[in-house]
Structure 1
Amino acid sequence: MLGALAIVLGAAAAAGLYQVSVQPGAAIVKAVFEAGSEVTPPADYESIAQTVTETRGVVITAPTPGTPDSTLNLYAPSIPHTGLPVVLWIHGGGFISSSADTVKQYVTMLAAQGYVVANLDYSLAPDARYPVALEQANAALSYLGTHATDFGADPSLLFVGGDSAGAQIASELAAVQTNRALADSVGLAAAVTPVDLRGVVLFCGLYDMQTVGSIGFPALRTYLWAYTGARDYSSFAAVDQLSTTQTATNAYPPTFITVGDADPFRSQADELAASLSGRGVPVTSLTWDGTGDRLGHEYQFDFSLPEANTAFTDTVRFLASRSENR
């Protein structure tokens, strides 16, 4: 996928298609992103899915005038349950593509492990620019904190997680809950108390806007132009708000970070892990040194890889450990 993005965007730039407007480039990237399946599930996926109940289209009312509503799709074990932990999952797609259904198979698998997973469908850029997706995620987290018991969950056992661009949103969402100055600068109030936000799960995201431009990820400029509205995203007035390496405090929740060794975002994961650890935040990292540089972006969703199965097991172990540590 990354090679295809580089080729088509290089051709588009050479043709001058998006020197003035981000729309042509964003449309190309969106088409490439959505051309294939995001998740390659394990062979026994269908039997796993039969143990999970899906509730689609729970409307999350827009938090501010002019902000679109968003929706949650909820996944939970089919057997009667109470007091389960809740995971708010935020999908990737470069801020401009994909949907909650992109990762439906993955969140179904998480739910089967004994979790209520709320899969967020947020508004995409460039039609909805920063901080709309963050506002919607914060409203969704507030809803989950208030209504957890309605679907057999425990409002004191909340987690946020995401992949790629969704990992950036999830990481910033956690910072909003634990950094009053950041929340004020974004114009949000924390949705839940820090003690109830038990942990953060981050797959292959971007976390530092000062260094991410050097990693060579195809179409990164297009993603961030679409998301921020600034052709040079580094000139965006609020760009520092997106850098969780800078905004996380010592109150940031314990965090699980994983990235492939061949993923251009590897350095971003290392930077965030170092930043959090330096603040005394417990960090669990899974970065796969020594696999021969073969684990690319979002390897976590390809269950034909043994490493993806290990990452899933480690993710569930992290969630379980934080659910028990009250």
Structure 2
Amino acid sequence: MAEDAQLRSVGLHHRLSISARWTHRGERRLNATALHPALQARLAEVQGAPPVDTLPVETARQGSLARFGSLPKVPVFQVTDRAIDGGRLRLRIYRPHNRGTAPILVFFHGGGFVLGSVDTHDALCRQLCVGADAVTVSVDYALAPEQKFPAGLDDCVAAIRWAREHAAEFGGDPDRVALAGDSAGANLAIVSALRLLRTAGLSFRALLAAYPVTDAPDLARASYVERGAGFGLTTQAMIWFFDHYLDEPGRASDPDVSPSRSPDLAVLPPTYVVTAEFDPLRDEGIEFARKLAAAGVAVVHAHHDDANHGFLSWAGTNEPSQVALDAACAWLTAQLG
């Protein structure tokens, strides 16, 4: 059963022309030699900048907004900011059209649980809205260190519940809901799905996890050794993020922090896992995709062997990022119906 699930995954991502390479045992063949030139150019733009883990938190946040907040923005039918939970929690809702109802994609931004906002990921959410033809609800969840785990996770769960209950207000279909996120946001999407399935019996059509944080930093992992410096996200940054996120290191083994440790992975919906070769999170993402397949989840693993962490955010500015995002959106569209 588990092997069959994994082989279905292999066949599907070959049909989508995604650059994952697996044997029937699930072993990846490495043939990567270099980061794509377009992504190298993006790295060169910040060469010489101080590492994020050496900066005050607010300075790092301002830098993230300056870098990503001005990316090209594709037009959508409507963008609305809403405040829920007594005005405390901000959402940004993107509608692709006004032709009846559309499926709902609830999105959680990356940034190591410390950085990022609906503004840093505005361009990416617009792409998702148009590409997946879905009402996209971007969540401005609580950030650490001001509000440590599980405050951000609690916000994400509350936002999902609100989106389903208030779908009629923004043209969404509460019966066709998917979750998505990049990096730390992918972690929150995975854990939110597990929590709501476990505690409320809520199900989802699909889950998109782009270069997900699925475990605490493990400096012995090959990807941390090989890709932990020089490609954007660094080992030291991941340690800095987790130091801010958790009130005590022992909580890192909690499945709500490290979902790869969850015993309940089999209940997850069809899942699309994006990994990048030049990423310290590469191996935990690959391992997570394998665990999903072994649990019988319908999983597509899209490994991009010339990309680095965060590369989907550059869709609209270069070809490899756009092609990868288009493939993910095509899969979401098929799942959402």
TM-score (norm 2): 0.75
Aligned residue for 1:259, secondary structure, equals strand
Q: Mapping of 1:223-238 within 5 angstroms?
A: 223-230=241-248, 233=249, 235-236=250-251
- Contact residue 69 and residue 123 of structure 2 kept, 8 A: no
Q: Which residue of 1 aligns with 2:159?
A: 140
The 2-side partners of 1:272 and 1:242 are apart by 14
1:311 aligns with 2:324: yes
Using the TM superposition, give the Cα deviation of residue 142 of structure 1 relative to its aligned residue in structure 2, in angstroms.
Answer: 0.5
The 2-side partners of 1:277 and 1:5 are apart by 40
The 2-side partners of 1:259 and 1:146 are apart by 33
1:241 aligns with 2:259: no
The 1-side partners of 2:273 and 2:80 are apart by 28
Aligned residue for 1:287, secondary structure, equals strand
Cα RMSD of the aligned pairs, angstroms, is 2.5
The 1-side partners of 2:52 and 2:208 are apart by 32
Q: Which residue of 2 aligns with 1:321?
A: 334
Structure 1 counterpart of 2:272, from 256, 265, 288 = 256
- Contact residue 258 and residue 286 of structure 1 kept, 8 A: yes
Structure 1 counterpart of 2:284, one-letter code:
Q
Structure 1 counterpart of 2:210, from 183, 192, 203 = 203
CA-to-aligned-CA distance 1:266-310 (integer Å, 9 cap, x gap): 112101101111100011111123x3xxx1111112133322111
Structure 2 counterpart of 1:274, one-letter code:
R
1:166 aligns with 2:185: yes
- Greater RCO (Cα-Cα under 8 Å, separation 6 or more): 2
Q: Which residue of 1 aligns with 2:107?
A: 89
Aligned residue for 1:112, secondary structure, equals helix
Q: Mapping of 1:245-284 within 5 angstroms?
A: 245-247=260-262, 248-284=264-300
Q: Which residue of 1 aligns with 2:313?
A: 301
Structure 1 counterpart of 2:184, one-letter code:
A
- Contact residue 200 and residue 254 of structure 1 kept, 8 A: yes
Q: Which residue of 1 aligns with 2:18?
A: none
Using the TM superposition, give the Cα deviation of residue 313 of structure 1 relative to its aligned residue in structure 2, in angstroms.
Answer: 1.4
Using the TM superposition, give the Cα deviation of residue 34 of structure 1 relative to its aligned residue in structure 2, in angstroms.
Answer: 3.9
- Contact residue 213 and residue 220 of structure 1 kept, 8 A: no
Using the TM superposition, give the Cα deviation of residue 73 of structure 1 relative to its aligned residue in structure 2, in angstroms.
Answer: 0.8
The 1-side partners of 2:298 and 2:184 are apart by 23
The 2-side partners of 1:250 and 1:200 are apart by 13
Q: Which residue of 2 aligns with 1:125?
A: 144
Using the TM superposition, give the Cα deviation of residue 111 of structure 1 relative to its aligned residue in structure 2, in angstroms.
Answer: 1.8
Structure 2 counterpart of 1:61, from 85, 89, 108 = 85
- Contact residue 5 and residue 218 of structure 1 kept, 8 A: no
The 1-side partners of 2:209 and 2:252 are apart by 25
- Contact residue 5 and residue 219 of structure 1 kept, 8 A: no
Percentage of pairs with the same residue = 24
The 2-side partners of 1:258 and 1:141 are apart by 22
Count how many residue pairs are aligned between Structure 1 and Structure 2: 279
Using the TM superposition, give the Cα deviation of residue 259 of structure 1 relative to its aligned residue in structure 2, in angstroms.
Answer: 2.4
Quick one: structure 1 residues 7 and 251, their matched pair in 2 at CA, closer, same or farther if it must change by over 3 Å?
closer
Aligned residue for 1:162, secondary structure, equals strand
Structure 2 counterpart of 1:258, one-letter code:
V
Quick one: structure 1 residues 83 and 7, their matched pair in 2 at CA, closer, same or farther if it must change by over 3 Å?
closer
Structure 2 counterpart of 1:37, from 68, 81, 90 = 68
Quick one: structure 1 residues 162 and 4, their matched pair in 2 at CA, closer, same or farther if it must change by over 3 Å?
farther
Using the TM superposition, give the Cα deviation of residue 81 of structure 1 relative to its aligned residue in structure 2, in angstroms.
Answer: 2.2
Aligned residue for 1:272, secondary structure, equals helix
Quick one: structure 1 residues 128 and 4, their matched pair in 2 at CA, closer, same or farther if it must change by over 3 Å?
farther
Using the TM superposition, give the Cα deviation of residue 35 of structure 1 relative to its aligned residue in structure 2, in angstroms.
Answer: 4.4
CA-to-aligned-CA distance 1:127-172 (integer Å, 9 cap, x gap): 1111111111111100111111221111011011111111111111
Aligned residue for 1:316, secondary structure, equals helix
